[in-house]
Amino acid sequence: SAVISQKPSRDICQRGTSLTIQCQVDSQVTMMFWYRQQPGQSLTLIATANQGSEATYESGFVIDKFPISRPNLTFSTLTVSNMSPEDSSIYLCSVTQIAYSGNTIYFGEGSWLTVV
Amino acid sequence: GNSVTQMEGPVTLSEEAFLTINCTYTATGYPSLFWYVQYPGEGLQLLLKATKADDKGSNKGFEATYRKETTSFHLEKGSVQVSDSAVYFCALFSGGSNYKLTFGKGTLLTVNP
Protein backbone atom coordinates (compact mmCIF):
# COMPACT_ATOMS: atom_id res chain seq x y z
CA SER A 1 0.00 0.00 0.00
CA ALA A 2 0.96 3.64 -0.23
CA VAL A 3 0.54 6.29 2.43
CA ILE A 4 -0.01 9.80 1.15
CA SER A 5 0.41 12.96 3.21
CA GLN A 6 -1.07 16.21 2.03
CA LYS A 7 -0.44 19.69 3.40
CA PRO A 8 -2.27 21.81 4.28
CA SER A 9 -5.26 19.75 5.28
CA ARG A 10 -7.47 22.83 5.44
CA ASP A 11 -7.07 26.51 4.74
CA ILE A 12 -9.08 29.66 4.34
CA CYS A 13 -7.64 31.83 1.60
CA GLN A 14 -8.16 35.40 0.49
CA ARG A 15 -9.43 36.10 -3.00
CA GLY A 16 -6.60 36.84 -5.41
CA THR A 17 -3.93 34.96 -3.50
CA SER A 18 -2.22 31.68 -4.40
CA LEU A 19 -1.74 28.56 -2.33
CA THR A 20 0.59 25.60 -2.83
CA ILE A 21 -0.48 22.14 -1.74
CA GLN A 22 2.13 19.50 -1.08
CA CYS A 23 1.80 15.75 -1.59
CA GLN A 24 4.32 13.32 -0.11
CA VAL A 25 4.18 9.56 -0.71
CA ASP A 26 5.97 7.01 1.45
CA SER A 27 7.18 4.98 -1.55
CA GLN A 28 8.28 5.60 -5.10
CA VAL A 29 5.34 5.61 -7.49
CA THR A 30 5.16 6.08 -11.21
CA MET A 31 1.81 7.78 -11.56
CA MET A 32 0.67 10.79 -9.56
CA PHE A 33 -2.47 12.77 -10.18
CA TRP A 34 -4.28 15.81 -8.84
CA TYR A 35 -8.07 15.83 -8.56
CA ARG A 36 -10.57 18.48 -7.55
CA GLN A 37 -13.86 17.87 -5.76
CA GLN A 38 -16.16 20.86 -5.72
CA PRO A 39 -18.80 21.00 -2.97
CA GLY A 40 -21.33 18.21 -3.35
CA GLN A 41 -19.76 17.00 -6.57
CA SER A 42 -17.74 14.07 -7.80
CA LEU A 43 -14.03 14.14 -8.47
CA THR A 44 -12.57 15.71 -11.57
CA LEU A 45 -9.03 15.10 -12.74
CA ILE A 46 -6.95 18.26 -13.02
CA ALA A 47 -3.69 16.83 -14.32
CA THR A 48 -1.15 14.05 -14.31
CA ALA A 49 2.04 15.07 -12.51
CA ASN A 50 5.02 13.91 -14.57
CA GLN A 51 8.36 13.46 -12.90
CA GLY A 52 10.93 15.83 -14.30
CA SER A 53 8.69 17.33 -16.95
CA GLU A 54 5.60 19.47 -17.39
CA ALA A 55 2.31 18.11 -16.11
CA THR A 56 -0.37 16.85 -18.50
CA TYR A 57 -3.56 18.86 -18.01
CA GLU A 58 -7.13 17.77 -18.64
CA SER A 59 -9.54 19.79 -20.68
CA GLY A 60 -10.61 22.89 -18.80
CA PHE A 61 -7.48 23.14 -16.65
CA VAL A 62 -4.40 25.20 -17.54
CA ILE A 63 -0.88 25.50 -16.23
CA ASP A 64 -1.16 29.20 -15.44
CA LYS A 65 -4.00 28.53 -13.01
CA PHE A 66 -2.78 25.20 -11.61
CA PRO A 67 1.01 24.95 -11.89
CA ILE A 68 2.29 21.57 -10.82
CA SER A 69 5.75 20.37 -9.92
CA ARG A 70 7.07 16.86 -9.47
CA PRO A 71 10.78 16.88 -8.75
CA ASN A 72 11.01 13.19 -7.83
CA LEU A 73 9.01 9.97 -7.55
CA THR A 74 7.65 10.65 -4.07
CA PHE A 75 6.70 14.34 -4.05
CA SER A 76 4.50 16.75 -5.96
CA THR A 77 2.97 20.19 -5.47
CA LEU A 78 -0.14 21.81 -6.87
CA THR A 79 -0.56 25.57 -6.77
CA VAL A 80 -3.97 27.17 -7.05
CA SER A 81 -3.25 30.63 -8.45
CA ASN A 82 -5.18 33.89 -8.19
CA MET A 83 -7.95 32.20 -6.24
CA SER A 84 -11.62 33.07 -6.47
CA PRO A 85 -14.56 31.65 -4.46
CA GLU A 86 -15.18 29.20 -7.32
CA ASP A 87 -11.89 27.53 -6.41
CA SER A 88 -13.28 26.51 -3.02
CA SER A 89 -12.91 22.74 -3.23
CA ILE A 90 -11.16 19.70 -1.90
CA TYR A 91 -7.93 19.06 -3.79
CA LEU A 92 -6.74 15.48 -3.70
CA CYS A 93 -3.43 13.91 -4.56
CA SER A 94 -3.60 10.40 -5.93
CA VAL A 95 -1.03 7.74 -6.78
CA THR A 96 -1.20 4.52 -8.72
CA GLN A 97 0.70 1.43 -7.70
CA ILE A 98 1.13 -0.76 -10.75
CA ALA A 99 1.57 -4.42 -9.89
CA TYR A 100 1.23 -7.76 -11.60
CA SER A 101 -1.42 -8.71 -9.06
CA GLY A 102 -3.46 -5.66 -9.96
CA ASN A 103 -3.21 -1.91 -9.96
CA THR A 104 -4.45 0.13 -7.03
CA ILE A 105 -5.07 3.82 -6.73
CA TYR A 106 -4.69 5.61 -3.40
CA PHE A 107 -5.77 9.06 -2.32
CA GLY A 108 -4.49 11.52 0.20
CA GLU A 109 -6.81 12.95 2.82
CA GLY A 110 -7.36 15.99 0.67
CA SER A 111 -6.74 19.69 1.13
CA TRP A 112 -9.97 21.54 1.90
CA LEU A 113 -9.72 25.09 0.61
CA THR A 114 -12.22 27.84 1.23
CA VAL A 115 -11.72 31.10 -0.67
CA VAL A 116 -13.31 34.19 0.83
CA GLY B 1 -14.04 7.27 -23.70
CA ASN B 2 -14.62 5.80 -20.29
CA SER B 3 -17.72 6.59 -18.26
CA VAL B 4 -19.40 5.46 -15.04
CA THR B 5 -23.10 5.70 -14.31
CA GLN B 6 -24.13 5.44 -10.70
CA MET B 7 -27.48 5.12 -9.03
CA GLU B 8 -28.85 8.53 -8.14
CA GLY B 9 -29.14 9.31 -4.50
CA PRO B 10 -29.74 10.08 -1.81
CA VAL B 11 -30.46 6.65 -0.39
CA THR B 12 -31.98 6.45 3.09
CA LEU B 13 -32.18 3.13 4.91
CA SER B 14 -32.90 1.85 8.37
CA GLU B 15 -30.20 0.05 10.30
CA GLU B 16 -29.82 -3.63 9.31
CA ALA B 17 -31.47 -3.09 5.92
CA PHE B 18 -30.02 -4.51 2.72
CA LEU B 19 -28.08 -2.10 0.54
CA THR B 20 -27.58 -2.08 -3.21
CA ILE B 21 -25.98 0.80 -5.09
CA ASN B 22 -25.98 0.22 -8.83
CA CYS B 23 -22.99 1.04 -11.00
CA THR B 24 -22.59 0.44 -14.72
CA TYR B 25 -19.72 1.44 -16.94
CA THR B 26 -18.44 1.86 -20.46
CA ALA B 27 -14.76 1.48 -21.09
CA THR B 28 -12.16 0.61 -23.66
CA GLY B 29 -10.13 -2.48 -22.98
CA TYR B 30 -10.32 -4.30 -19.69
CA PRO B 31 -10.82 -1.81 -16.87
CA SER B 32 -10.20 -2.21 -13.18
CA LEU B 33 -13.21 -1.29 -11.06
CA PHE B 34 -13.32 0.38 -7.67
CA TRP B 35 -15.65 1.56 -4.95
CA TYR B 36 -14.48 4.47 -2.84
CA VAL B 37 -16.16 5.81 0.29
CA GLN B 38 -16.07 9.33 1.66
CA TYR B 39 -17.26 9.75 5.24
CA PRO B 40 -18.54 13.18 6.31
CA GLY B 41 -15.68 15.66 6.53
CA GLU B 42 -13.07 13.15 5.44
CA GLY B 43 -11.07 12.26 2.37
CA LEU B 44 -11.54 9.40 -0.06
CA GLN B 45 -10.90 5.82 1.02
CA LEU B 46 -10.65 2.75 -1.14
CA LEU B 47 -13.44 0.39 -0.11
CA LEU B 48 -12.91 -2.50 -2.53
CA LYS B 49 -11.75 -3.29 -6.02
CA ALA B 50 -11.86 -5.90 -8.77
CA THR B 51 -9.41 -6.18 -11.60
CA LYS B 52 -10.94 -8.76 -13.94
CA ALA B 53 -14.25 -10.27 -14.92
CA ASP B 54 -16.05 -12.32 -12.25
CA ASP B 55 -13.73 -11.04 -9.52
CA LYS B 56 -15.52 -10.21 -6.29
CA GLY B 57 -14.16 -7.39 -4.18
CA SER B 58 -15.12 -7.35 -0.51
CA ASN B 59 -14.35 -5.30 2.58
CA LYS B 60 -16.15 -4.38 5.82
CA GLY B 61 -19.18 -6.45 4.81
CA PHE B 62 -19.49 -4.75 1.43
CA GLU B 63 -19.22 -6.75 -1.78
CA ALA B 64 -19.20 -6.06 -5.50
CA THR B 65 -18.77 -8.44 -8.42
CA TYR B 66 -17.22 -7.44 -11.74
CA ARG B 67 -19.80 -8.45 -14.36
CA LYS B 68 -18.39 -8.05 -17.83
CA GLU B 69 -21.52 -9.30 -19.58
CA THR B 70 -23.65 -6.58 -18.01
CA THR B 71 -20.80 -4.05 -17.57
CA SER B 72 -21.79 -3.64 -13.94
CA PHE B 73 -20.16 -3.45 -10.51
CA HIS B 74 -23.02 -3.08 -8.05
CA LEU B 75 -22.19 -2.49 -4.40
CA GLU B 76 -24.06 -4.58 -1.81
CA LYS B 77 -24.16 -5.01 1.92
CA GLY B 78 -26.45 -7.36 3.76
CA SER B 79 -26.98 -5.29 6.89
CA VAL B 80 -26.05 -1.63 7.01
CA GLN B 81 -25.07 0.28 10.13
CA VAL B 82 -25.39 3.93 11.04
CA SER B 83 -21.62 4.19 10.66
CA ASP B 84 -21.94 3.31 6.95
CA SER B 85 -23.50 6.71 6.29
CA ALA B 86 -21.25 8.27 3.66
CA VAL B 87 -20.92 9.07 -0.01
CA TYR B 88 -20.00 6.11 -2.21
CA PHE B 89 -18.21 6.52 -5.54
CA CYS B 90 -17.89 3.92 -8.25
CA ALA B 91 -14.81 4.37 -10.43
CA LEU B 92 -12.78 2.70 -13.12
CA PHE B 93 -9.53 3.01 -14.91
CA SER B 94 -7.82 1.22 -17.72
CA GLY B 95 -4.31 1.18 -19.05
CA GLY B 96 -5.59 2.85 -22.16
CA SER B 97 -6.62 5.83 -20.06
CA ASN B 98 -3.08 6.16 -18.68
CA TYR B 99 -4.34 4.98 -15.31
CA LYS B 100 -6.56 8.00 -14.78
CA LEU B 101 -9.69 7.29 -12.74
CA THR B 102 -13.13 8.01 -14.08
CA PHE B 103 -15.66 8.54 -11.29
CA GLY B 104 -19.39 8.21 -11.04
CA LYS B 105 -21.29 11.11 -9.51
CA GLY B 106 -21.46 9.54 -6.09
CA THR B 107 -24.37 8.23 -4.01
CA LEU B 108 -25.14 9.64 -0.60
CA LEU B 109 -26.21 6.94 1.84
CA THR B 110 -27.88 7.81 5.13
CA VAL B 111 -28.58 5.03 7.61
CA ASN B 112 -31.02 5.79 10.41
CA PRO B 113 -31.05 3.96 13.74
pLDDT tens-place string over residues B86-111:
999 999 987 665 678 899 999 999 99
Q: What pLDDT shows up at residue B97? A: 59
State how far residue B104 is from chain A, nearest Cα, in angstroms: 7
Q: Tell me the three state secondary structure of residue B85.
A: coil
| β-pair type (B86-93, B32-38) | antiparallel
For residue B24, is pLDDT > 70?
yes
Q: What is the DSSP letter of A98?
A: -
pLDDT tens-place string over residues A62-104? 999 999 999 999 999 999 999 999 999 999 999 987 777 667 8
State how far residue B105 is from chain A, nearest Cα, in angstroms: 5
For residue A116, is pLDDT > 90?
yes
Helix ranges, B1-113 (H) = none
Label residue B83 by pLDDT band (50, 70, 90): very high
* A39–B contact, CB cutoff 8 A: no
For residue B41, is pLDDT > 90?
no
Q: Tell me the three state secondary structure of residue A2.
A: coil
